[in-house]
Amino acid sequence: MVGDDYVDARKKGVRAMRSAQLEGRYPYLPALDDILGKEGAGLSQINLHIREIPLDMVVGTKTKGRQNSFADNFMPLMEKETEFAAKWDRVFKYQMDVGISDPIKCYEYLKKFYVLEGNKRVSVLKYLDVPSIEAEVIRIMPEKSEDPSIVTYYEFVDFYKVCPVYIIDFSKPGSYKKFAELLGLSMTEPWSADMVKTVEASFYRFETVFNARRRREVSSMTVGDALLVYLSFYSVSSLLDQPRSVLESRIERLSEEFVSQMNQDNISLQKDPGDNAPKKEPHLLSFLFERPTPYTEDRPLKVAFLYNWKSTESAWISDMDIGRIYLEKRFDGLVKTFIYEECRSDEEITKAITSAADHGADVIVTTNPAMMPRTARAAVHYPKIRFLNMSLNLSHRSVRSYYARMYEAKFLMGAVAALKCRNHRIGYLADTPIYGNIANINAFAIGAALIDPEVSVFLEWSSLKDHDWRKNFAQDDVDIISGPDYAWFQADPAERGVFRVDEDGSILNFASPYFNWGRYYELIIKKIIDGTYDDDPSASGLQAINYWYGYSAGVIDIQLSDSLSYYSRKIIGILKKGLISGDVQPFAGEINSQNRLIQSKGSAPLNDEAIIEMDWLNDNVIGNIPAKEEMSERAQSMVSVSGVREDLQKAAKVDN
């Protein structure tokens, strides 16, 4: 006669079966053979040998056999008088007296386990809420495809080689690599046993608190997804070092970040200062309770700017600081600004933000993509301060990003370069392959090809280690170059924008890009002063807001040299007017990359996402996108935050 525990387990099984039937779900255990069908026989298998696996990931049986003997929660369904019930009861008593030690045999497919031998052992241990079981595991590999779930699974397989942990589950491609980077580890070198234990313990601690505090609000988010958000702000050690009350408080503060990350379209791209949707007519009483903060000369809006260099050492920083000074003058006493220079390390950035907050900053602007992680963390701690970071396509809800549609200016500069080129060979010096920069290269190449269809653009990267781009351009017989947007202080001031290097080494500048940072800051700060900053429709939709203003907003332009002819200026003027009106679109119609057709003749312009996230080079570009490890330490830090491709795998070198 079976004991009471079998009767209790069967009751749980019957309840689960009836609940599934009412909801229209299959009420029994799924069989892997049914899931795979005939195609399953052709899939490759990998023997993982004996592993400890989470019991909550054991979801079915390998074959049909006993699947109807269990509900979908692995609780038994057979009557207590059956032989099945007697065997289940014996396994239960053995577990209570001695403890189950023999490993089960199972198959793993897409991070779920299907039992071949040991269904009753699994059932008993699940009934007892045992977290894991030893198993002899055979992994069945799915066919590769572009399906995000399959891509993510193959990333998990690589992750498992260095950190054999099943419990961490991500829903988006690239997450396992990002997780490793946040821990300061790689996906190629095995992690130490201590680190693997730390990862498991940290995950379980986070899972407990997260499920208790925010789980229902973001039910579509895996705990791994939420952990990735947490680790973007806090260290993994904090999950073990800090008391539960601190973790609860942090998870509460990150609530909007969790929701934002789960939005399929979690970035709202603001391309024009007038992009905001029409406001709803306010309720009469709202004026009594929701007035904008009245900034005055006695109580000005305080804006802090963080620079990674001194303005006396960098023309780039100097230009941004001119914009800051313009901002103060433009608002005539309503805005007070102050700066923090040489903010390069995490410690220096954090110290500067803390100081700015202590001095009553209402807005903090960090002026480099590499500053985003510390900026986002600070934004969670200082929810009343508005934070901005100069970057593009980053999805932090608590920080708004801003950058210029620089590809529009680069398109015009490509045309200038082709007008001055005498041998169909132009050089282009890029900095780092972060969001937006690949579009700059391609727009330049397309602009040049419109003037000279036979032109080739030779691509070099200033951020590569031990690299002499000047020497390489000379070897390629290139004398027309699109160089840095700002001349280095120690270099010839003409060595920026589009310039020519003559045989005697002298440099003649033809065109330079112009960032009107003062205008950009004015457009954003005006929203705060007039009380419309938080009225953005995206603010209520829990999207991250990225400002991406361009020519139409007056935040960029190019300065043409007097050495350009009247006709050259006229051509550039026509193209510029077309850009502003929208009649000229660099990325409309037929586009070919180095190795494939991007879109065919007559196609509409590429959408904003495709432009920002370009990871290909136009067919007249000679060069490649470098791998992350080829770059300087400074460049690697920027690519880690804002790189166009998370893996940055090296593109094929295209020879001339």
pLDDT in tens, 506-537: 999 999 998 999 999 999 999 999 888 877 65
Confidence class for position 168, pLDDT limits 50, 70, 90: very high
Comparison of pLDDT for 256 and 136, the residue scoring more:
136
Residue 292 pLDDT = 53
**264 pLDDT tier (thresholds 50, 70, 90):** low
Beta strand segments in 196-318, E: 267-270, 301-306
Domain 1-143: CATH class, spelled out: alpha beta
Of 92-101, 210-219, 391-400, give the range with the top mean pLDDT.
92-101
The pLDDT value given to residue 287: 45
Query: Which one-letter DSSP state was computed for residue 595?
Result: S
How many residues in total does the chain contain?
Answer: 656
Pick the CATH number of 286-404+518-553 from 3.40.718.10, 3.30.70.20, 3.40.50.2300, 1.10.10.410: 3.40.50.2300
Residue 40 scores a pLDDT above 70: yes
List pLDDT tens digits, range 578-617.
999 989 999 999 999 999 999 999 999 999 889 988 989 9
Q: Amino acid identity, residue 110?
A: L
Domains of the chain, residue spans: 1-143, 286-404+518-553, 406-515+557-642
The values of phi and psi at residue 599, to 5°, are -155, 155
Of the listed ranges 65-69, 116-120, 469-473, the least confidently predicted one is 65-69
Q: What's the pLDDT at 227?
A: 94
Q: 256: burial class by Cβ within 10 Å (0-12, 13-18, 19+)? A: middle
CATH code for 406-515+557-642?
3.40.50.2300
Q: Can you read off the two tokens belonging to residue 245?
A: 């009350």
Q: pLDDT grade, residue 392 (50/70/90)?
A: confident
Task: Provide the pLDDT for residue 490.
Answer: 58
Q: Residue 397 has what pLDDT? A: 80
Give yes or no on whether 286-404+518-553 and 406-515+557-642 have one common fold. yes
Give the Cα separation of 323 and 335 in Å (integer).
Answer: 13
Q: With contact defined as beta carbons under 8 Å apart, do 367 and 403 qualify? A: no
Rounded Cα distance, 594 and 653, in Å: 9
Predicted confidence (pLDDT) at residue 270 exceeds the cutoff of 90: no
The pLDDT assigned to 627 comes to 85
Ordered alpha helix ranges (H), 299-371: 315-330, 346-358
Within 8 A by CB and 6+ apart from 441, the residues are 410, 428, 430, 457, 459, 617, 618, 621
- Kindly report the average pLDDT of the chain as a whole number: 88
Q: So what's the pLDDT on residue 491?
A: 64
| pLDDT surpasses 60 at 540 | no
- pLDDT, residue 623, reads 94
Encoded tokens for 315:
């023309």
DSSP run (H or E) holding 387: strand 386-390
Average pLDDT over residues 473-478: 94
Q: How confident is the model at residue 436 (pLDDT cuts 50, 70, 90)?
A: confident
Residue 177 confidence (pLDDT) above 70? yes
Ranges 208-212, 327-331, 385-389: which has the least confidence: 208-212
Please write the tens of the pLDDT for every residue from 609-655.
Answer: 899 889 899 999 999 998 888 888 877 877 776 666 433 333 333 33
Q: Quick check: 265 pLDDT over 70?
A: no
Residue 65 has a pLDDT of 78
- Confidence tier at 263 by pLDDT (50, 70, 90): low
Residue 288 banded pLDDT, cuts 50, 70, 90: very low
Is the model more confident about 271 or about 31?
A: 31
Average pLDDT of the segment spanning 52-64: 93
Alpha carbons 319 and 296: distance in angstroms, whole number: 27
pTM over 0.85: no
Are the C-beta atoms of residues 376 and 401 closer than 8 Å to each other? no
